[in-house]
Amino acid sequence: MTTTIHMSIKTLYNQNDSFSRDAKLAKILWLAKEKLKKECDILDVGCGDGKIGGELVNMGHHVDGVDVSEKGINSAREKGINAQLSQIEEFETDKKYDLIIMTDILEHLFEPLEILKKTKNWLKDDGKIVMNFPNHLDLRNRFRMFFGHSVVHWDHKELAPWDYQHIRFLTLKEIRKMAELAGFFIAKEQFNFMGGGIIPVKLTPSFVRYILVKKWPALFSGKFGFLLSQTKPEKVFRKFFPKTLKGM
């Protein structure tokens, strides 16, 4: 089968795979739990097949979606999502949202900062953004690169470097800076201890993994999760999971 790669000057992703969504609902529910206590207008960027948005619809929220995959859009619409076929760079709306979800999106964009800035136009005054970013520089990936492997994330090691769709490899510090430059404040951060390999979870006590990921999240977290706010919070809440929980 021939794989079709869409590449504009701003975005790289695989149109055949874009309908499959691997972001987990539990992660979104923790990051945005205060927001989701009431009925929300939500924009799911890269909604895929509607797996996440459909669950939010079932919880009583109104969900709009945008994705590049026609197959994904059709599936999302069947789940009650008002889904639109569009590249995120070309997407426009006059609607204002309580919550925008951008999970596993920004690492595919040539200009993630500009897209993040653009989302401010789609938020209500108290609107928030949930986003996450894979950590390509966790300890396991650093060891892989030390021994001659490419920057391809260990969770995607079945992919050849020339087929890899991630094009932005940001550190934790750089992601925080990007959010600041886009005009946002970080209200919450979420870190999961990286998957098995260099430090097998089954052989490591939970408290040891907790200490490691809390002390050095840039090394030991496999993915970073964030809740972005337009106003400065009194305190930034951080959650450290010694193991990636079911659904996260």
- CATH code, 29: 3.40.50.150
Asked, for residue 246, whether it belongs to a domain, the answer is no
pLDDT tens digits in sequence order for the chain, 248 residues long: 333 333 333 444 444 444 444 457 888 999 999 999 999 999 999 999 999 999 999 999 999 999 999 999 999 999 999 999 999 999 999 999 999 999 989 998 889 999 999 999 999 999 999 999 989 888 888 888 888 888 877 677 777 777 777 888 899 999 999 999 999 999 999 998 886 556 666 778 889 889 999 999 999 998 999 999 999 999 999 999 887 665 54
Asked, for residue 15, whether it belongs to a domain, the answer is yes
User: In total, how many domains does the chain have?
Assistant: 1
Asked, for residue 209, whether it belongs to a domain, the answer is yes
Asked, for residue 248, whether it belongs to a domain, the answer is no
Quote the CA–CA distance of 112 and 233 in Å, as a whole number.
Answer: 23
Asked, for residue 159, whether it belongs to a domain, the answer is yes
Asked, for residue 247, whether it belongs to a domain, the answer is no
What is residue 20's predicted lDDT score, i.e. its pLDDT?
A: 47
Domain containing 31 equals: 5-241
Confidence (pTM): 0.86
| Terminal Cα-to-Cα distance of the chain (whole angstroms) | 32
Q: Residue 198, exposed/middle/buried by CB under 10 A (0-12, 13-18, 19+)?
A: middle
Tokens in use for 232? Answer: 């400065």
Asked, for residue 132, whether it belongs to a domain, the answer is yes
